[in-house]
Every structure is written in C-alpha cells, then in structure tokens.
Amino acid sequence: MKAIRIHAYGGPEQMQFEDAPVPECRAGDVLVRVVAASINPIDWKLRSGAMAKGIPKSFPFVLGQDGAGVVEAVGSDVQGFAIGDEVFFYAEFARGGSYAQFVAVDAAQVAKKPRTVTFATAAALPTPGQAAWTALIETARLERGMRVLIHGAAGALGTIAVQLAKQQGAHVVATASGEGMALVASLGADEVIDYRQQRFESVARGLDVVLDTIGGATQEASWSTLRPGGLLVATAIPPAPDRAAAAGVRAAFVFTPPRGAVLAQLAERVDRGLRVIVGREFALSDAAAAHRLGESGRAHGKMVLHVTAPAAN
Ligand SMILES: NC(=O)c1ccc[n+]([C@@H]2O[C@H](COP(=O)([O-])OP(=O)(O)OC[C@H]3O[C@@H](n4cnc5c(N)ncnc54)[C@H](OP(=O)(O)O)[C@@H]3O)[C@@H](O)[C@H]2O)c1
C-alpha cells in the first residue's frame, strides 16, 4: 500500500510517500481502507520528535491518527462491525497510521461514520471532536446558564466546542480573528472577541469556564476572567500546578484518549446538524505541504488528505 512514513524525526522533508506493508488486523482490530485522513497539530509534534518522550515510536512509522473509510477486515473478538461498514476513527498514538491506504485500529476506537456527511468531513472530526467533548461535557460539565469563554473558537476543536456548549445551554464568549469571527458567530457564539484587536480579559469577566486551546500569554490572561472557583480547561499547554490556586480558581488539562463510544455520540449529533468545518484538502502524496501550511499557522481550517476513492468499495 501507499503511505506517508517517516524514518527519522525532523521537518516535513522527512515525510516519505512510499510503499509500506498493509498492517496486520489483530484480535480486537478492524482493518480500514482509508478514504480520507485529517491532519491534527499533534501530527507535526509527533513528526518533529517534540512528543518523543511521552509517545515513543519506532521507525519507520506511518503518521496520522484520524480518518474515515470502509471496513476491509474484522479481527477476532470484534462485535458491532462488519466488512463494508463506513466508519471513522481516532487511532491511538502508539499505533497511529491513518496517512495510508489501510490502517488497523482497535475496534474500541472506531464508530460508524455519520450518514449525512462525506468521508472527508467525517475524517475531520475525531480528535478535535473528542477533545471538545471531554473538555466541556465530561470535565467542565457545562450546564444551562453557565458562561464559557472558548479560545481559538474558529479552529477545529473550537468550532465543535462552540456548538456543544450552545447545545448544553451555555452562554458562549469566543475569541477568533478575521473570517473566523463570522464563522464562530454562525455557529451560535453569543459574543465574539477579535483577539488581534482587543484584550479579551478587558471584556470577559465572571466566567464559569474557560476552554484554553492556546496556552502561553492567552492562558495567563485567562485566569482573571474566571469567577472565584471557576475552571480553566486547557488542551494545548498544561497549566502550572500552583497557578490556578493563586488565582482562586481551578484548572484541568485534557489529553483525550480515543473512544469509539464518544465518536458514536458525536456522529449522532452530526446527523442532527452539528457542523464539521473542512478547510484545505490535499492528496495523500502532498501531506508534507499540508504540514508546512499547518505549522506556519496559516491553514485557517481543518486540513484533510484524500487517500482512496470511496467508489473503490
Ligand atoms: N489535549 C487534547 O486531547 C487535544 C486534542 C485536540 C487538539 N489539542 C490541541 O488544541 C490546540 C488547538 O487544536 P485545533 O485542532 O483546534 O487547532 P487549529 O484548528 O489549528 O485551531 C487553532 C485556532 O486558534 C486560533 N488562534 C491562534 N492564536 C490565537 C489566540 N492568541 N487567541 C485566540 N485564538 C487563536 C487560530 O485562529 P487564527 O486563524 O486567527 O490564527 C485557529 O483558529 C492545539 O494545540 C492542539 O494540539 C489537544
């Protein structure tokens, strides 16, 4: 099969479009013929070696966690999936491998694809969708009437987070810039702050929850926007242990493990209208160009790789 592999940590030039063995479908796995894969910021953190301590890999390995496709084979001990099912998945980091024509994924990390969207759109959902779910629904336990500030609201995680927060009945304050402002408003945000033009901490006050997808100066300025006892949930940079206590609030860091059961709930919501925003689309062989764009911070939207044609079913 064709795949994007790396043989050493480094820049996008390490990404080789080459032949690789079809992965073994072990007990508990499904083998998926990948139609589309998506690109997450963690993909270039894994590629560069920045995650080498936390997620050790052996070379060569196929990049990518998220994707959508068609079940090609089912391992022993697998319930609920059959050959020909249309699925989407978030493969655990230790295995990964979605930038390829075939990937073997633990069936517990797979769900049936939403019926109403394309494979490319389904592929764009798993990691950011799960992170938004874990952060807002499971960790912050957002409820009707709570006030939440969502940073990076025009991003992959943020666009899902805004919609989930509105579905929970929360009042949503969002930060975005440029064309992202209108997008975030169209997803239901009650207030949108242009983070390039205005200091969000001068207008956002007394919040129950901050979802921090940025870290650094954005995280530091966020503490003062919370009410006493409020909660900052971070997805990019873990808050320093004593910082929340010093501000009289709470903090949590979310690192989302893959769970097919959560993907199934997200798929239902997509079929009921949750929007998944896809940005630039690339052929699998151009994955390095997509990484360059993503790392430059100029991608402005979720990038998707087209791997095989759905009609090859
Ligand atoms: N812990 C987990 O389980 C988990 C899961 C998923 C993602 N993440 C992490 O969460 C972060 C966001 O992921 P993503 O997939 O949503 O990335 P993304 O699609 O690249 O979105 C990032 C967004 O942040 C915006 N932004 C940049 N600087 C900002 C600032 N100072 N204030 C407010 N918004 C700003 C960008 O908007 P512009 O267009 O204005 O630049 C962009 O819309 C990444 O660090 C990722 O690694 C963690």
Do 15 and 78 lie in one domain? The reply is: yes
pLDDT value at residue 311: 58
Do 136 and 200 lie in one domain? The reply is: yes
Q: How many domains does the chain have?
A: 2
How far is 101 from 78, CA to CA, in rounded Å? 21
Beta carbon of 151 within 6 Å of any ligand 1 atom = yes
Beta carbon of 235 within 6 Å of any ligand 1 atom = yes
Dihedral sign computed on CA atoms, order 40, 46, 50, 55 = positive
Q: Based on the number of CB atoms within 10 Å of its own CB, is 173 exposed (0-12), middle (13-18) or buried (19 or more)?
A: buried
5-48 tens-digit pLDDT = 999 999 999 999 999 999 999 999 999 999 999 999 999 999 99
Domain-located, residue 297: yes
Q: What is the CATH number of the domain that holds 280?
A: 3.90.180.10
Do 60 and 121 lie in one domain? The reply is: yes
Query: In the structure encoding, which two tokens stand for residue 32, read together?
Result: 């998926």
Maximum Cα–Cα distance for the chain, whole Å?
58
95-153 tens-digit pLDDT = 989 999 999 999 999 999 999 999 999 999 999 999 999 999 999 999 999 999 999 99
Q: What percent of the chain has pLDDT over 70?
A: 99
**φ, ψ at 90 (rounded to 5°):** -135, 95
pLDDT value at residue 313: 40
How far is 123 from 133, CA to CA, in rounded Å? 16
Do 6 and 118 lie in one domain? The reply is: yes
Q: What percent of the chain has pLDDT over 90?
A: 94
Do 59 and 112 lie in one domain? The reply is: yes
Domain-located, residue 261: no
Q: Is the pLDDT of residue 310 over 80?
A: no
Q: What is the CATH number of the domain that holds 200?
A: 3.40.50.720
Q: Tally the C-alpha atoms within 13 A of residue 47's C-alpha that lie toward its C-beta.
A: 28
Domain-located, residue 45: yes
Query: In the structure encoding, which two tokens stand for residue 196, read together?
Result: 């390039």
Stretch 233-240: mean pLDDT:
96
Do 153 and 121 lie in one domain? The reply is: no
Do 138 and 25 lie in one domain? The reply is: no
Beta carbon of 277 within 6 Å of any ligand 1 atom = no
Beta carbon of 114 within 6 Å of any ligand 1 atom = no
pLDDT value at residue 101: 98
Do 114 and 214 lie in one domain? The reply is: no
Nearest alpha carbon to residue 127 among 33, 45, 185: 45
Give the ranges where the chain is alpha helix by DSSP (H). Answer: 41-48, 119-123, 126-132, 156-167, 180-186, 216-222, 243-247, 260-271, 287-296
Pocket test for ligand 1, best of 45, 66, 214 (most atoms within 8 A of CB): 214
Instruction: Please count the other Cβ atoms lying within 10 Å of the Cβ belonging to residue 188.
Output: 14
What distance in angstroms lies between residue 68's CA and the mean position of ligand 1's atoms?
22
Task: Provide the residue range defining the domain that includes 148.
Answer: 128-253
